[in-house]
Amino acid sequence: MNSGDSKESKVEARGHFERYNRYGYYFLLPFFIIFLIFSLYPILYTIYLSFTDLAGWNTQSNFVGLKNYKSILQNQLFLKSIKNTVILWILNFIPQMGVALLLAAWFTNMKLKLRGTQFFKVVFYLPNVITAASVAVLFSALFSYPMGPINMLLIKLGVIDSAYNFFQNNWATVFIVAFIQFWMWYGQTMIVLQSGILSISESLFESARVDGATDGQIFRHITIPLLKPILLYTLVTSLIGGLQVFDIPFLLTKGGPNNSVLTITMYIYQQAFSGNRNFYLAATASVILLLISIVLSVLMFSVFKDRTKVGRAK
């Protein structure tokens, strides 16, 4: 970010006030001390625990080498939790991106002269601010059986004859969780994409329009290509966010029915904080989650470089 500092400012700093530069370290000290204690050490400790057999309320543990990794990669429940997490993410991300892109394109289209876009933005973002725990319990009540509002509404409209127990059906539960995630995040994605589109020079759109391009053509040939860095950025942040999903499925059905919405983070939580308190398995699952996140972060970092280049170029 600071590589853009001009030559002059560097020379200037090197001159009169250079001796103040060590304050850069002092001012960063609190950040890095707290980071070392509360983030880095716990991460390293988690990695260490993944090579031990720590469980229950024990404080002592034995080194077991790669045993935990061998067993977790054959653990059906863990593999299922990865699969569930990916399915939930895909089912939420595709409609989220689609709707967000459409809205962002419409709201920035000068020709359409839409009114109330500020109002819509505020309303669409609203679910994102509300406590996920509350949202989960609210939806479990709305979809509850047999007296939930959704059931009563569907019966009244004649869609179904008798109340349907949504949370007894694997796919119904998966779709409800994916829908809630979509509902909480599409407004956020829309705002990010919209600010991306607004950073594209309006003259590009105008000259395309003068050349007789339709809205669809402009969208496909100008908006989407120039938005690529931000689209990738959204994809990766959403994917990493998707790996962390916990609150909604945990409070909606505790992962059921048949563990159909048991996510990776829920697996870690369950192993460590219920039943036998298998910290060793939870730690191993955490390390695998860490590896996935690192791969995605590296990807993110390269995407990010592109993004700043785009920002500079405009």
Partner 1 sequence: MAHALRTKRTLIYVFCGILTLLSILPFWILLCNATRSVEQIRQGLSLIPSDSLVHNWHVLMNQGFNVWQGMGNSFFIAACSTILSVYFSAMGAYAFTAYNFKGKKILFGMMIGLIMIPPQISMIGFYQFMMRLNLLNNYIPLILPAIAAPNTVFFLVEYMETVYQPDYADAARLEGASEITIFHKIMLPIMKPGLATMGIFAFVASWNNFLMPLILINDQAKYTLPMLVQLLTANIYRTEFGAMYLGIGLTVIPLIIIYLLLSRYIIGGVTAGGLKE
Give yes or no for residue 55 binding partner 1 (CB under 8 A). Answer: no
Give CA–CA dist 134/235, Å, rounded: 26
SS3 52: strand
Residues numbered 184 to 223 that lie near partner 1 (CB under 8 A) are: 187-188, 191-192, 194-196
Site size toward partner 1, by CB under 8 A: 111
Name the minimum Å distance from CB 52 to partner 1: 11
Name the minimum Å distance from CB 45 to partner 1: 3
Sign of CA dihedral 55, 61, 66, 67: negative
Residues numbered 164 to 183 that lie near partner 1 (CB under 8 A) are: 183
Residues ≥6 apart with Cβ < 8 Å to 215: 105, 109, 111
Name the minimum Å distance from CB 253 to partner 1: 10
Nearest to 52 by CA among 69, 64, 42: 64
Give yes or no for residue 147 binding partner 1 (CB under 8 A). Answer: yes
Give yes or no for residue 303 binding partner 1 (CB under 8 A). Answer: no
List Cα–Cα distances, 227 to 9, 104, 105, in angstroms: 32, 11, 11
Tokens of 295: 């791969």
* 11: enclosing H helix or E strand: helix 7-14
What is the crossing angle of helices 117-129 and 170-198, to 10°?
A: 130
Give CA–CA dist 176/164, Å, rounded: 14
**Quick one: 16 or 65, whose CB is closer to partner 1?**
16
Residues numbered 12 to 51 that lie near partner 1 (CB under 8 A) are: 12-14, 16-17, 20-28, 30-32, 34-35, 38-39, 41-49
**Contact with partner 1 (CB under 8 A) among 112, 160, 204, 224:** 112
**Contact with partner 1 (CB under 8 A) among 72, 101, 132, 262:** 132
Name the minimum Å distance from CB 174 to partner 1: 19
**Contact with partner 1 (CB under 8 A) among 75, 87, 208, 304:** 304
Residues numbered 218 to 247 that lie near partner 1 (CB under 8 A) are: 230, 233, 236-238, 240-241, 243-244, 246-247
